[in-house]
Amino acid sequence: MIEVLKREKKCTNEEEMIKLYNEATKDYSFWSKDLNMHFGYYIPFKTSLLKRDSMLNQMNEQLFSLLEVANKEKHIIDLGCGIGGTMKYGINNHKKLRITGCTIVPFQVKYGNNFINNDQAKIENIDYKHTQFSDNKFDGAMAIESFCHSGCSKEALEEAYRVLKPNSKFVMADAFVKRDYKEMNIFSKKVHRGLSKCWSLERLGNINRVKEDMENIGFKNVKVKNIWYRVAPSVLHVPFAISGFILRKIINNEELKEESIHNMKGSFYALLTSLCMQDFGYYIVSAEKNK
Ligand SMILES: C[S@@+](CC[C@H](N)C(=O)[O-])C[C@H]1O[C@@H](n2cnc3c(N)ncnc32)[C@H](O)[C@@H]1O
C-alpha cells in the first residue's frame, strides 16, 4: 500500500512538472532570447553582468568545454534539454557535434525542434530515467537543471552511465541541498517548501549522497564544484526579469496563467536560496564512465 501511495505521489509530481512546463515554457523567451532555461556563469571581463544571455551561454560553454567537444565528431545526449537552448549553442559553436535531447514535455519537443531547425540536433520525447538507447552509445552526456526534478535519483544517474561510452564524460550543473530537509533551519525549510511547490523540486538532491551514488554506480574522477558565486549574478536578474514580464502582460492586456505565476514564485524562492548558503548550493559535477 505504501509503495502504491509513493508511486502515485511520484506520478503527481511528474504530471505537475509536465503541466508547468507545457504552459510556462514560452515565458522563458523573456528570460533568455537564446531560450536557455537555466542560470548563468559569470566570469569577470568575459561575460557581462548586464547581459543575461552572455552569462547563460557561458554556462553552456563551461559544460561543453568539460565534455571536450571542440573539433571532435562527438554525439552527446542532453538529459532534460528544455527547448534546446544549450543544444543550439553547442551545434552553433561546434560544427562536428551531434546532440540528442530528451524531455518529457510534449510542447518542448515541438517548439524546441522548430527553434533548433538543424539535422545536427534533435529533441525527443524521452524520460531520462529510462531512455531505451543502447548501452555505450554516446560520447558524452550533460544535464543542466534537469536532474533536480528527480532529486538527482540513482535511477537517472545509472541511466546516464549506461548510455555513455567507456571513458566518456557526464557533466551536470544544478542546485543541490547540502543537508536533508529535516536538518535545515526554519527559513531554509520554508524556501525548500516554496521551491517544491512552485518548481516541483521536492526531491532536490543532497550533493554528498549524489557523489556517493555516482561512485557506487562506477563513475570515476567524480568532481564536485560549488559555483554559487558564479551563478549568483544571474540569479539577481530574477526580480528585474519578472517585473518586465508582468509589465508586458499588463500592457498587452494578457492574462497571467496559473503556471506562469507558479514559475515566477519559484524564481523568487531560487533567489532566497542565496540567503541560506549553509543548506543550498549550485554545483558543476563532472565524472567519467569507468570502462
Ligand atoms: C529547468 S528545465 C532545463 C532545461 C535545459 N536543460 C536548459 O538548461 O535550458 C528542466 C528540464 O528538465 C526536463 N525533465 C525533467 N524531468 C525529466 C525526465 N524525467 N525526463 C526527461 N526530461 C525531464 C524538463 O522537461 C525540462 O525540459
Answer yes or no: pTM beyond 0.85: yes
Question: From residue 7, how far is each of 12, 272, 286 by CA, in Å?
Answer: 9, 30, 30
Q: Is residue 79 situated within a structural domain? A: yes
- pLDDT number for residue 12: 57
Q: Is residue 32 situated within a structural domain? A: yes
Q: Is residue 277 situated within a structural domain? A: yes
Is the shortest distance between the CB of 36 and ligand 1 below 6 Å?
A: yes
Q: Is residue 5 situated within a structural domain? A: no
- pLDDT number for residue 30: 87
Residues contacting 99, CB < 8 A, separation 6+ = 75, 76, 77, 78, 87, 90, 91, 120, 121, 122
Is the shortest distance between the CB of 150 and ligand 1 below 6 Å?
A: yes
Is the Cβ–Cβ distance between 58 and 173 less than 8 Å? no
- pLDDT number for residue 179: 93
Query: What stretches in the chain show pLDDT beneath 50?
Result: 1-11
Q: Which helix (H) or strand (E) holds 251?
A: helix 238-251
What CATH number does the domain containing 45 carry? 3.40.50.150
Atom of ligand 1 lying closest to residue 129 CA: 19
Q: Coil, helix or strand for 20?
A: helix
Q: Is residue 236 situated within a structural domain? A: yes
Is the shortest distance between the CB of 128 and ligand 1 below 6 Å?
A: yes
Is the shortest distance between the CB of 32 and ligand 1 below 6 Å?
A: no
* Count of the separate structural domains present in the chain: 1
Cell of 255: 492574462
- pLDDT number for residue 8: 41
Q: Is residue 13 situated within a structural domain? A: no
Strand-strand pairing, 138-144 and 220-226 = unpaired
Rounded to the nearest angstrom, the distance between the alpha carbon of 70 and the centre of ligand 1 is 25
Q: What is the pLDDT of residues 102-120, one digit of tens each?
A: 999 999 999 999 999 999 9
The residue segments making up the domain with residue 185 are 18-288
Q: Is residue 12 situated within a structural domain? A: no
